[in-house]
Every structure is written in C-alpha cells, then in structure tokens.
C-alpha cells in the first residue's frame, strides 16, 4: 500500500516538474513537486529522487526545441558561456531546488511525526 | 535529541539552498525549457501558413534552393508588405541595428558605449536629413510613401508575431533589448548612412589639408596626381577626352593642358593660406577623427566593378551587364536576394536590407548595377566663428548659427549650423570651425524614387529617366535593356566657381583642400546638369567599364578637381580583357569578374625580377626569385609568388615613402598617409618604371627593390618557415566576414582568400607602413551579377544566405568563393513555401 502511495507521489512530482518547467520556467517552482516527495520516508531516496526528477524533467524538455543545439552554440559565441553550461545550468538549479525542497519537507514531516 | 538536532540543521541547510537558488535561478529563466526562454526561435526555415493583419490578399513566398525568396502577390502593397515581413523574418536584428544607426539612437540598445556613434550620426545629419526626405516624399511621391509604409507594416507584423510567441532571434533576449516598430523614417535614415559611406570629398579634402602644407606642391602632385598614372581617355568611365554633349573645357576657352598644370592647392583655389592650414591642424584632425576615420559601422569604400557590352560586341547579339559592388563583407550580408512579383512589377535581384524594392537587379526587359564614382560630392569648409554669440562670418557679415538640439540617454546635445552645413568641429579659442557641405542636407533622398523606377522599367529610356532621380550618393549606374547598353554617373555634384590665375572663371567639382567658408567666393553654385553628367550610351567601341577609375578625362567641362579616384588597376585589367574579347559571352563576363590578375604586379614584378637577377643571394632568396620569374601575376590561394611580391612591395613602400614622411614631419600621420595605399602602389608602379632615378628611391629603384626583397624574404622566413613552397597566398591572406554589430565572436572566418586590392575580383586589406600577417580582407565583392535581358539570362551570387542566423543553411558563400553563379529570375527548386493570408489579429 505504501509503495503505491509512494509511486503516486513520484508520478505527481514528475508531472508537476514537467508542467511547471515548461509553462512557467521559474526555477523556484521546483519547490512544489519537491514538497510532494517529502512524504518519502528515507532521506537519501527523497533527496536523490528530487534531484533526478527535477534535473531530468527540465533537461528532457529541451528535446522539444529543434534549434536548441544551434542557439546554444551561438549563445556560447556571444556570451562566452560554455555550451554545456548553457544546457545544464537550469536543470541543475531546478534539480537541486527540488531535492532541497524534498529534503526540507521530509525533515519537517519526520519532525512532526516524532 | 541528537536526531532532532540533525533535523534542525538539515532544515536550515535546505531552506538556505532553496532561498539562495530561487533568487539566483531567476537570472536563468531565459535558459529554462519554457516559453520564456531563448530556445523557441527556429533556425530552420520551414513551410508555414500565417494570417497577417493588414495584408489585403493571399501572398505566396517561395524560397528556392539558392536562398532566393520569390514573392508572388496580387498587388504592389502586398508585395512590399511581404518583402518587409520576409526581411524581418530573416534579418530582424540586422535590420533594426541599421535603423538605429541611421536614426542616431544606438545608445537606446547599447548604452554609453554607442553614444559617440549616435553623436556622429546627428553631426553628419542622418536623422535630420531623413526627416526632411520623409516630409518631401509624403507630399510629392505618395506612391513611394505607400511602398515604404507597406514594407514597414510587413516588418512590424513579424515583430508583433515573434514577440507574442516569444520567438525573437535569441540575441534580443541575450542582450535584453526589445525590437522597436519600424517606420518609413528608418528606411530613409539608413539610406542616408549608406549614401554618406559612399560619398567622397569632405574627408579627402581634410586629409590633404594635413599632408599638403608639409609635402609641398611638387611632391603632393607626384604622389597624389589629379589623375592616377597610366590613365588616359580610353580608361576613363566615359571614354574619350571628356567632351559631353558637345561641351568641354575648351568651350570656355580654357586649355585642358593649362588647367591641369595649375596648383589647385594654392590660396587662389581654396581661399586658404598654408599658415591657416597649419593653424587649423588640430581642428582638421578633430573633424577627421569625428566623422571620417570611424564612420558608423566602419564602412570602407574602396571600389566596385561594373561593365557593359553592347549587342554588337557580344556573342549573342544582345547587351550584357556585369556588376560587383565592393562593400564591407558582413555576416549577415547587406543584401537579401528577392524576386518581387505583382501586377505592374516583376523584379529580381538584391534588396539592400532596410530599403524596400530591389537596388541591384533586373526585370524581364532591363538590368542595372552600381559602382561609386569617387569624385567629390561633399566638401569641407573652414569657417570663422564666434562661439560666444554663436555666429559665423560670411561675406563680411556675422550671421547667427542655426541650433539643432537632440537628446541621447537623457542628455541634451546641441549642434550648430553655418550656411554650409553642420559644424562638425570647432575651436572657440582659434575662432575657427569646420562645416560639412553635403547635398543630402538640402535635397530629399529621391534615390528611392530612382530605385522604384528601375524596378518597374521595361526599356532603356525608362532606365535613363530613373537615373535622373538618383541624387545621393553619385553612382556610376550601368544599365542594359534588350537592345541598348550604357552607363551614367548620376547624382548631385556640387559645383564651385573658381577664378583661375588667367582671370577666367570656371565651375569645378570639389577641391583639393578645405575651402574658405567665410569669403563667399567658394560656395556651391549649383550642380552638374543631368545633360552634362558623364555618360556613354551604346558606345561605338562596344563596351563601357566603370570600376572607380576617373569618371571623365581632362577636357570634361566641369573638371573633377576633387577627384579621389581608385588607382585604375582593375580598370586596366578590365579594359585589356574587354578589348581582347570581341563577341564576348556571359561565361567570359563571369570569368572577368573572377579575374585575380593584379595590373600593378604585371608592371612591377618584371622590374623586381630584373633588379634581383644576378645579385648574390642566399638559397631561399634565389628560390624566391624563381617563383617571381615564373609568375603570371595572379593571386590564387595556392600560389607563392603573390606572397613574396606583396611583402616586397610593403617593404619598398615603407623604405621609400616612410623616409619622406619622417623628413617632412609627417610621422604622426603615417596611418592617414597610407590610407592612400591604393594610389601609392600606382605611384610605385609608374615611378619605378618611368623615373628609376627618382629621389624617392634614393637615386636607384633597383637598390631599393633589392633591399626591400631581402627584408621581405627574411620576414617571411621568420613567420612562415624556410620551406618556400609553403608560403601560399592563402596562408597569409584571409577572408573574414564581420558581424555588423561588432560582435567579433560572430565573425565568420578566417578563410584563405584569392585576390588583392588591385585584382578585379578584389580583396582589400590595409597597409599601415609595416609588414604584418595575416592580411585580413573584410571588403570585397558583396555580390556578383551578370545579366542579359535580351537573352533572358540572369546570374548572380553573394557571400551569404538569406538568414542572419550564424548557422543558417542556404548560404552561397562557397559558390562565391569559387566564382560560381546561380540563375536568377526563376525558381530554381522550391524548398520552402510560405502562404501569407490576410486576417491576423
């Protein structure tokens, strides 16, 4: 039962991550899906799940932009920011916020339980 | 207890990370995978059907495999609307950059670092002149105004659509700039920028005003002759002695020999003494640095090619035209290849981005091209001024100066005008100022009327009528119809009335130095009448060519005292080729455009070889001479001789002219002096072969050549290694397509390149008095066009593609590099289709 319960929260977090990253694009919104992952009991799992879901959801969304690769190359030329950093920086921030959010809410929930 | 303490700590850490990254992450929203990001813009041009507000009927835009957009509309308004929409889709950033350059408002995008460019734009008068033109066009040319409005509406439709869908080119989001709404005023202001960049007179008069007092007449005349060496009446753009419509200098009882022996640097010719020139030196320098040395966008105007052959002279029996305007090679190009088809108009060629219509191209019946004539069409005036009461002296009386105020970044600037034009430099202490006389200040920019008439032309008379409207900048307009061929140097040439030492008066074009603006004697007194502009229609000899050589020869009735011509190297090569090729074909016209033979090398190299033969030289030096002696004067990338020749020439110039500069106190003006590199090489070719013992060469040209050669070989050895077979021209001479906004990381290149500044397929690089490498070329044939309307054959190529995207496809650069052409005027192979429909929101 608990497994199903966790899977449901994983799915909610994944869907929310995709929707929030795609429709709003503000990194701080990763707090919301992260909060749902806070219910997972094991600290290491909820934090790593938060990071993986946050990071992958935004990086996978890049696939929907047909010119991303060329725009990143041109942006690298203009700004001097390396290509890989341009692609990775937002997913990393999004992932870390989601992981921190999962960690934060997990600690709060655990603390309340105690 | 321990557990709960850990939780507290973790809660704190997580909270800190969340808060910190949430704030920090806001700056990276533009990189998110959302609709607020930079990623939405589509590099790939794709098929689309779009509803556009303001469009009257359906328009089809077919982009073919050559990158030419064919616009098919049901009326003229829709055609220009679609042209504007297409231009903005392909070149929005470039377009808006050009518009702001013209309006002197780059600082609204780039802040303080662009403020000097904006001040210059106002000093020269781009926005003021554009306003004058707009009012005039609105009142007198409603049809042109409607075309300008349609083009603007098309641009604005794209901006609205791209802003709404967040699909602007990424640079707008990266640089945090917003596109502004285009209007006809921007097209006119950008036209003014292009016109000024192709205008001669003002800057050359100032440069000579610095150099002449030090060099004196004899040396100035030797190094900067009124007509470059090797030029005669067969080589001038208008063939013959200069007589036009039965009028010549002798019609005014003035002998051309007498006239051209005069010293036009004298006080009688300019109204200014040497002492005043020396006193005004800081002021002259300030004006030069202000609006000459670094004009907006850094255009360098060094030349262009154009020639026509008559039906009698071509293999097909129909006239043929070839044109390749040499301009800054931008990435993206200044040009956009387009066909406009609507009832009453069917024209194909190149749009100058920012201007509606086709500037260089062809209709079914006609074709036309442009080169710059380089005779003075602007002048510099030295004014006596009083900045305490803001007045200037004219003809013995003091008059108040007109003040023009403009705002830049919240600060007000004031520009003062004398009767001659804007005061671009002044010194209150000296009581002197320099004003720019440029006809664009007083005359509306009707050049766009001429362009529209060209675009609608169906016969030769209509081409000539279109040329009558061409005002600024003067251009050599090459024209062919199905059965006629010709050229005319059209535009406004201001005339100055001067009294010669023999007391005869004559109206001349331009001056050799800055003119006295206070005396009233050197004021412009009108323009060369259209009837007497240099021209040649269906010439008997069968061909005409106008690659920036002197426009008309010494008997021309309105002498070009201010003639600042190209050296004539390209003219000589073109003349020799055309003369030798009766029954010329289109292929041969294209071959001539790709010709990389340097006429001055053909004069100088045999002398070099002769001087160096028999000398005691080391191994590598002897190998070098072998390369030079086997050379046929072509500049291909894989040849070694052009490298050795060019660097020997550099050292020769520096050894001979460098010592003149230092001995005449001109060391501070080295850069200015070598700006005339083009002409100095002509001097070297002539003097080295006709006056070998000239004091310029310290008594022996051969000795100077030997010394320069040894230095060149040593330099090349140190830079390229001792294996002489690897000293390829393409290793030291490179093409660099430059970004118009000056974003150097977006420049394209360097790529090995053919040619030099004296080959018909020109590749200009600068020389500042010292040898350097690589030699970077960013000026050259900005497009190539060969057309024969009688035969229905139209070909062209340009170094670029339709889109400004750095990684855009459909680029013609490789074809341009290898002298290949595309067929124009028909859809080669449609690759993308846009359907534009009325009814957008």
Q: Residue B627 and residue B642: Cα distance in Å, rounded? A: 9
**Same domain membership, residue B244 and residue B288:** yes
pLDDT of residue B695: 78
Domain boundary among B703, B727, B751: B727
Q: Which of A58, A70, A108 sits opposite B32 (nearest CB)?
A: A58
**Same domain membership, residue B558 and residue B621:** no
**Same domain membership, residue B511 and residue B656:** no
**Same domain membership, residue B512 and residue B402:** yes
List, as ranges, residues 166-195 from B with C-beta within 8 Å of A. Answer: 170-171, 174
Q: Chain B partners of A86 at a C-beta cutoff of 8 Å?
A: 31
> Contact B730/B723 with Cβ under 8 angstroms?
no
Q: Which residue of A has its CA nearest to B739?
A: A78
Secondary structure (3-state) at B674: helix
Q: Which of A73, A96, A104 sits opposite B21 (nearest CB)?
A: A96
Under DSSP, the state recorded for B147 is: H
Is the residue at B84 inside a domain? no
* Two tokens, residue B766: 């600068």
Q: How many domains does chain B have?
A: 2
> Contact A109/A39 with Cβ under 8 angstroms?
yes
Q: Which residue of B has its CA nearest to A31?
A: B18
Is the residue at B156 inside a domain? no
Tell me how close the Cα of B23 comes to any Cα of chain A, in angstroms: 8
Q: Residue B487 and residue B465: Cα distance in Å, rounded? A: 13
**Same domain membership, residue B615 and residue B533:** no
pLDDT of residue B140: 96
**Same domain membership, residue B589 and residue B532:** yes
b/e per residue, B448-482, with b = 16+ CB within 10 A? bbbbbbbbbbeebebbbebbebbbbbbbbbbbbbb
Enclosing H/E stretch for B80: helix B76-103
Q: Which of B7, B38, B745 sits opposite A111 (nearest CB)?
A: B7
Which domain covers residue B693, as residue numbers?
Answer: 599-633+640-727
Contact between A75 and B38 using a beta-carbon 8 Å cutoff: yes
The C-alpha angle with vertex B694 and arms to B693 and B700, in degrees rounded to 5, equals 40
Sign of dihedral through CA atoms B510, B516, B517, B523? Answer: negative
Tell me how close the Cα of B164 comes to any Cα of chain A, in angstroms: 15
Q: Which residue of A has its CA nearest to B6?
A: A107
Number of alpha carbons in the 13 Å side-chain half-sphere of residue B703: 10
pLDDT of residue B691: 82
> Contact B220/B660 with Cβ under 8 angstroms?
no
**Same domain membership, residue B672 and residue B547:** no
pLDDT of residue B827: 78
Residue B140 CB coordination number (10 Å): 12
Contact between A77 and B745 using a beta-carbon 8 Å cutoff: yes
Measured in degrees and rounded to the nearest 5, phi and psi for residue B247 equal -110, 135
Contact between A97 and B21 using a beta-carbon 8 Å cutoff: yes
Is the residue at B107 inside a domain? no
Q: What are the residues whose beta carbons fall under 8 Å from the beta carbon of B680, sequence distance 6 or more?
A: B223, B653, B657, B674
Contact between A27 and B170 using a beta-carbon 8 Å cutoff: no
HEC states along B645-663?
Answer: HHHHHHHHHHHHHHHHHHH
pLDDT of residue B495: 98
ipTM confidence score = 0.94
Contact between A21 and B33 using a beta-carbon 8 Å cutoff: yes
pLDDT of residue B294: 56
pLDDT of residue B296: 47
Averaged over successive runs of 10 residues, the pLDDT of chain B (841 residues) comes to 73 93 91 88 85 95 93 97 97 96 95 93 96 96 97 97 90 91 98 93 94 91 94 96 97 97 97 95 91 60 88 96 95 95 96 97 97 95 96 97 96 97 95 97 94 97 97 96 97 97 96 97 96 97 96 98 94 97 96 97 96 87 95 98 97 88 80 76 91 82 94 97 96 94 88 96 89 93 97 95 77 93 84 91 68
Instruction: Give the strand pairing for B303-309 and B69-72.
Output: unpaired
Is the residue at B34 inside a domain? no
Dihedral, CA of residue B429, residue B432, residue B434 and residue B435, to nearest 10: 110
Is the residue at B652 inside a domain? yes
pLDDT of residue A20: 93
R_g of chain B, CA atoms, integer Å: 28
Is the residue at B104 inside a domain? no
Identify the CA nearest to B800 among candidates B369, B307, B360, B353. B353
pLDDT tier for residue A1 given thresholds of 50, 70 and 90: low
* Two tokens, residue B259: 């006239």
Enclosing H/E stretch for B797: strand B793-797
Q: Residue B752 and residue B730: Cα distance in Å, rounded? A: 4
Q: Residue B291 and residue B227: Cα distance in Å, rounded? A: 26
Residue B517 sits in a domain whose CATH number is 3.60.20
Q: Which residue of B has its CA nearest to A100?
A: B14
Pairs across A and B, CB distance < 8 A:
130
Instruction: Give the strand pairing for B391-394 and B397-400.
Output: antiparallel
**Same domain membership, residue B668 and residue B553:** no
Among B18, B35, B739, pick the best mutation site for testing chain A contact (most A Cβ within 10 A): B18
Q: What are the residues whose beta carbons fall under 8 Å from the beta carbon of B562, sequence distance 6 or more?
A: B200, B201, B204, B205, B375, B376, B379, B508, B509, B510, B511, B512
**Same domain membership, residue B617 and residue B520:** no
**Same domain membership, residue B568 and residue B527:** yes
Is the residue at B266 inside a domain? yes
* Two tokens, residue A111: 């603390």
- Exposure of B591 by Cβ count < 10 A (0-12 exposed, 13-18 middle, 19+ buried)? middle
Q: Chain A partners of B746 at a C-beta cutoff of 8 Å?
A: 74, 77-78
More confident residue, A2 or B661: B661
* Two tokens, residue B318: 């129909």
pLDDT of residue B826: 79
Domain boundary among B678, B706, B727: B727
Give residue limits of the domains in chain A: 2-113
**Same domain membership, residue B551 and residue B646:** no
List, as ranges, residues 12-51 from B with C-beta within 8 Å of A. Answer: 14-15, 17-18, 21-22, 24-26, 28-29, 31-44
Identify the CA nearest to B36 among candidates B45, B44, B25. B25
Q: Which of A71, A89, A93 sits opposite B170 (nearest CB)?
A: A71
Q: Residue B626 and residue A45: Cα distance in Å, rounded? A: 78
**Same domain membership, residue B585 and residue B532:** yes
Is the residue at B77 inside a domain? no
């Amino acid at each position: 039962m608990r497994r199903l319960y966790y899977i449901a929260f994983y799915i909610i977090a994944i869907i929310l991550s995709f929707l929030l990253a795609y429709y709003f694009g503000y990194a701080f919104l990763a707090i919301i899906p992260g909060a749902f992952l806070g219910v997972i009991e094991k600290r290491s799992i909820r934090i790593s799940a938060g990071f993986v879901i946050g990071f992958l959801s935004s990086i996978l969304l890049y696939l929907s932009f047909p010119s991303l690769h060329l725009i990143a190359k041109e942006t690298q030329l203009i700004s001097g920011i390396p290509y890989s950093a341009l692609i990775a920086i937002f997913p990393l921030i999004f992932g870390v916020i989601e992981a921190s959010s999962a960690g934060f809410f997990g600690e709060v929930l655990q603390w309340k339980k105690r | 207890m321990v557990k709960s303490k850990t939780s507290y700590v973790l809660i704190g850490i997580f909270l800190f990370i969340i808060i910190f990254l949430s704030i920090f992450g806001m700056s990276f929203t533009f990189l998110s995978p959302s609709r607020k990001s930079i990623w939405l813009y589509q590099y790939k041009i794709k098929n689309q059907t779009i509803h556009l507000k303001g469009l009257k009927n359906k328009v089809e835009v077919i982009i073919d495999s050559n990158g030419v957009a064919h616009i098919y509309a049901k009326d003229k308004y829709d055609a220009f609307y679609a042209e504007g929409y297409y231009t903005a889709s392909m070149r929005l950033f470039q377009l808006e950059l050009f518009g702001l350059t013209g309006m002197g408002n780059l600082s609204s995008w780039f802040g303080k670092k662009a403020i000097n460019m904006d001040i210059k734009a106002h000093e020269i008068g781009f926005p003021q002149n554009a306003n004058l033109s707009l009012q005039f066009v609105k009142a007198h040319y409603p049809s042109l105004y409607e075309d300008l409005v349609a083009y603007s509406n098309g641009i604005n439709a794209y901006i609205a659509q791209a802003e709404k869908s967040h699909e602007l080119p990424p640079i707008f989001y990266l640089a945090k700039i917003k596109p502004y709404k285009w209007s006809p005023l921007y097209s006119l202001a950008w036209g003014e920028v292009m016109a000024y960049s192709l205008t001669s007179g003002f800057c050359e008069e100032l440069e000579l005003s610095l150099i002449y007092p030090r060099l004196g007449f004899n040396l100035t005349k030797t190094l900067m002759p009124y007509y470059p060496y090797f030029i005669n009446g067969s080589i001038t753009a208008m063939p013959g002695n200069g007589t036009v419509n039965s009028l010549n200098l002798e019609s005014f009882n003035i002998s051309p020999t007498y006239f051209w022996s005069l010293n036009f640097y004298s006080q009688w010719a300019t109204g200014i003494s040497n002492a005043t020139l020396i006193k005004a030196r800081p002021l002259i320098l300030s004006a030069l640095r202000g609006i000459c040395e670094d004009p907006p966008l850094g255009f360098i105007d060094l030349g262009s090619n154009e020639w026509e052959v008559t039906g009698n002279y071509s293999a097909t029996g129909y006239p043929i035209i070839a044109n390749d305007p040499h301009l800054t090679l931008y990435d993206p190009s200044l040009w956009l290849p387009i066909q406009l088809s609507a009832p009453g108009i069917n024209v194909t060629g190149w749009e100058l981005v920012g201007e509606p219509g086709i500037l260089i191209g062809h209709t079914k019946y006609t074709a036309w091209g442009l080169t710059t004539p380089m005779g003075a069409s602007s002048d510099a005036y030295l004014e006596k001024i009083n900045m305490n009461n803001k007045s200037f002296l004219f003809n013995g009386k003091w008059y108040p100066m007109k003040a023009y105020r403009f705002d830049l970044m919240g600060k007000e600037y004031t520009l003062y005008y004398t009767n001659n034009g804007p005061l671009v430099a002044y010194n209150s202490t000296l009581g002197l100022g320099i004003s720019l006389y440029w006809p664009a200040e007083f005359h509306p920019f009707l050049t766009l009327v001429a362009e529209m008439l060209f675009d609608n032309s169906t016969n030769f008379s209509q081409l000539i009528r279109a040329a009558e409207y061409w005002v600024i900048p003067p251009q050599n307009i090459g024209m062919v119809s199905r059965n006629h061929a010709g050229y005319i140097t059209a535009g406004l040439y201001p005339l100055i009335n001067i009294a010669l030492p023999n007391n005869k008066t004559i109206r001349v074009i331009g001056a050799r130095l800055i003119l006295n603006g206070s005396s009233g004697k050197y004021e412009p007194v009108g323009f060369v009448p259209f009837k007497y502009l240099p021209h040649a229609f269906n010439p008997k000899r069968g061909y005409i060519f106008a690659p920036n050589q002197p426009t008309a020869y010494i008997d021309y009735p309105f002498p070009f005292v201010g003639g600042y011509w190209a050296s004539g190297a390209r003219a000589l090569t073109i003349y020799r080729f055309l003369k030798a090729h009766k029954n010329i074909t289109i292929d041969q016209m294209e071959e001539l455009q790709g010709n990389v033979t340097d006429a001055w090398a053909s004069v100088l190299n045999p002398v070099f070889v002769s001087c160096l033969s028999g000398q005691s030289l080391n191994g590598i030096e002897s190998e070098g001479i072998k390369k030079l002696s086997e050379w046929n004067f072509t500049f291909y990338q894989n040849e070694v001789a052009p490298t050795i020749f060019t660097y020997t020439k550099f050292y020769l110039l520096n050894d001979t002219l460098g010592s003149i500069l230092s001995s005449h106190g001109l060391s501070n003006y080295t850069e200015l002096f070598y700006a005339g590199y083009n002409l100095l090489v002509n001097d070297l070719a002539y003097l080295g072969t006709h006056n070998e013992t000239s004091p310029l060469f310290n008594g022996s040209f051969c000795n100077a050549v030997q010394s320069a050669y040894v230095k060149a070989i040593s330099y090349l050895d140190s830079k390229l290694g001792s294996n002489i077979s690897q000293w390829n021209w393409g290793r030291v001479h490179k093409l660099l397509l430059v970004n118009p906004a000056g974003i150097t990381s977006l420049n394209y290149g360097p790529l090995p390149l053919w040619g030099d500044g004296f080959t018909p397929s020109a590749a200009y690089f600068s020389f500042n008095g010292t040898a350097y490498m690589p030699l970077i070329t960013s000026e050259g044939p900005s497009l190539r066009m060969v057309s024969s309307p009688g035969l229905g054959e139209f070909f062209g190529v340009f170094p670029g593609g339709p889109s400004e995207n750095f990684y855009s496809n459909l680029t013609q650069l490789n074809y341009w590099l290898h002298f290949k052409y595309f067929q124009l005027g028909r859809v080669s192979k449609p690759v993308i289709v846009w359907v534009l429909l009325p009814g957008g929101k």
